[in-house]
Amino acid sequence: MAESLNGMKRTKLCGEFRLSDVGKTVTATGFVAKYRNLGSIQFVDLRDRSGILQLSFSEADHPEVFAKSTAIRNEFVLAVRGTIAPRGEKNVNPNLPTGEIELIVEELRILSEADTTPFHIVDDCKANEQLRLKYRYLDLRRPYLQHRLIVRDQIVRTTAEYMAKQGFLNIETPFLGKSTPEGARDYLVPSRVKQGAFYALPQSPQLYKQLLMIAGFDRYYQIAKCFRDEDLRANRQPEFTQIDIEMSYVEDIADVMKVAEGLIREIFKKTIGLDLPKRFRRLKYSEAMERFGSDKPDTRFGLELQDVSKIVKGCGFSVFDNAARKKGFSVRGINAKGMAKFTRKEVDALQDVVKEYGAKGLAYISLKPDGISSPIAKFFSEERFRALIDAMGGETGDLLLFVADRDKTVFDALGALRLAVARKEGLIDESTYDILWVTHFPLYEYDEEEKRLVAMHHPFTSPLTEDLKYLKDKPLKVRAKAYDLVINGQEAGGGSIRIHSAELQETMFDRIGLTEKDIKERFGFFVEAFRYGVPPHGGLAFGLDRLVMLLTGTDNIKDVIAFPKNQAAACLMSDAPGEVEDKQLIELGLPVPQK
Q: Is 109 annotated as a binding residue?
A: no
Burial 353-380 (b: 16+ CB within 10 A, else e): bbeebebeebbbbbbeeeebebebeebb
CA 218 to chain centre: 28
The answer to whether the CB of 545 falls within 8 A of the CB of 533 is no
Q: Running DSSP on this structure, what letter comes out for residue 4?
A: P
d(CA 216, CA 487): 33
Contact between residue 104 and residue 61 where contact means Cβ atoms under 8 Å apart: yes
Q: Tell me the C-alpha distance between 298 and 281, whole Å.
A: 13
Give the 3-state secondary structure of 171-226.
CCCCCCECCCCCCCECCEEECCCCCCCEEECCCCCHHHHHHHHHCCCCEEEEEEEE
Q: Is the torsion defined by CA of 577, 580, 584, 586 positive or negative?
A: positive
CA dist list (Å): 238 to 135, 162, 450, 585: 20, 28, 25, 24
Backbone angles phi, psi at 78, to 5 degrees: -120, 155
Terminal C-alpha separation, the chain: 45
206-214 vs 516-529: helix axis angle to the nearest 10?
A: 40
Look at residue 380 and give its three-state secondary structure.
coil
The contacts of residue 145 (CB under 8 Å, 6+ apart) are 139, 559
Task: Say if residue 449 is exposed, middle or buried (CB neighbours under 10 Å; 0-12, 13-18, 19+).
Answer: exposed
For helices 143-165 and 253-272, give the axis angle rounded to 10 degrees. Answer: 140
Q: Report whether 229 belongs to an annotated binding site.
A: yes
Indicate the pairing of strand 490-497 with strand 537-543.
Answer: antiparallel
543 is in an annotated binding site: yes
Among the listed residues 457, 337, 454, the one whose alpha carbon sits nearest the alpha carbon of residue 394: 337
DSSP string, 18-64: -GGGTT-EEEEEEEEEEEEE-SSEEEEEEEETTEEEEEEEETTT-HH
Measured in degrees and rounded to the nearest 5, phi and psi for residue 111 equal -75, -30
Beta strand 41-48 with 51-58: parallel, antiparallel or unpaired? antiparallel
| Rounded-to-integer distance, Cα 76 and Cα 505, Å | 62
225 neighbors 203 (Cβ within 8 angstroms): no
Question: Do residues 545 and 552 make contact, with C-beta atoms less than 8 angstroms apart?
Answer: no
Can you spell out the DSSP letters for 394-415?
Answer: --TT-EEEEEEEEHHHHHHHHH
Is 230 known as a binding-site position? Answer: yes
Q: Is 545 assigned a ligand-binding role in the annotation?
A: yes
Was 479 annotated as part of a binding site? no
For residue 380, which amino acid is it? F
The phi and psi torsions of 368 (rounded to 5 degrees) equal -75, 155
**Residue 219 among known ligand-binding residues:** no
81 is in an annotated binding site: no
Q: Binding site: what residues are annotated?
A: 182, 228-230, 237, 457, 491, 498, 543-546
Q: Binding site for ATP: what residues are annotated?
A: 228-230, 237, 491, 543-546
Q: Binding site for L-aspartate: what residues are annotated?
A: 182, 228, 457, 498
